Amino acid sequence: MKSKGIVALAVLLASLSGAGCATWQVGENGEMPETPRRIEAPNILDASGDESETVLRSALADSSRRILVSKKRRHLWLMEDDRVVFDAPVAIGRDTIFRYNGQTWDFSTPAGRRVVQGKETNPLWVPPDWHYYEKAVERDLEPVRLTASSRVRLSDGTRIEVRGNDVGRVNQYGNFWPFTPGAEIIFDGKIFMPPFGTRQRQIPEVLGTHRLFLGDGYLIHGTNEEDSIGSAVSHGCVRMNNEDVEVLYAQVDAGTPVYIY
């Protein structure tokens, strides 16, 4: 009976080692997980249109180490030749158009070929103007753009002031208190937009622990909202769980092709 059990185990392990089947991720202490992580390789059937199919065919013909992102399956693969090195679920753009004050923003994740242009750990998010305009629409607020010399008096007698690289509030006694980065500055029915370069325009944690620059403002990055993974909720970037983007970050360099289809 013992020999039959060993043979059965050997057959099981051999079947799991087949190309494109599954991969075992060993723990820090060398222990094996209870179940393998399933890898579902990219398939030409994933293409959702002519442009998507063209991008995917190019990605599958490429033999270099490259990243593939399926918007339809909301999944990312790191491949080399025809081998899947790593894969993970992602969130993508919400596919909506936002218009405000004569300006238009497209919050989709565009299909095409890009290249990793750089990498960064512990990134800070610098909100574009549309972030404040969205909040203004959601809460029926008036956006107010602050400058390096701004001093805005509030209805309670205090004022908002920009001092160096900080935006803060000055109380009736002249004491200056910087606002916490990441907190929206809302008073008197207005939302105040901190100047670029101030700490209040540099928000921690939103982009998670790592990011890859893809150009034109698009990123692959982590998130502080991991429940969003698998959904179409971003403003165009590709989001990953922090533990997944950390793995990807360690395995790609600047110049790595990225195919989004």
Other Cβ atoms less than 10 A from the Cβ of 59: the count is: 22
> Could you say which of 75, 210, 221, 235 is catalytic?
221
* 30-35, Cβ contacts within 8 angstroms, sequence gap of 24 or more: none
Catalytic one among 75, 210, 235, 237? 237
DSSP string, 57-107: HHHHH--SSEEEEETTTTEEEEEETTEEEEEEE-BEE---EEEETTEEEE-
Residues 6+ apart with CB under 8 A from 216: none
Annotation says 221 is catalytic: yes
* Degrees, nearest 5: CA angle 86-252-204: 95
CB atoms within 10 A of CB 253: 9
CB 260 within 8 A of CB 74: no
Q: How far apart are the first and last CA of the chain?
A: 51
Structure tokens at 6: 């060993």
Q: How many helices (H) and strands (E) does the chain have?
A: 4, 24
Contact 87, 76 (CB under 8 A): yes
235 catalytic residue (yes or no) = no
Tell me the C-alpha distance between 134 and 143, whole Å: 10
- Residues annotated as part of the active site: 221, 237
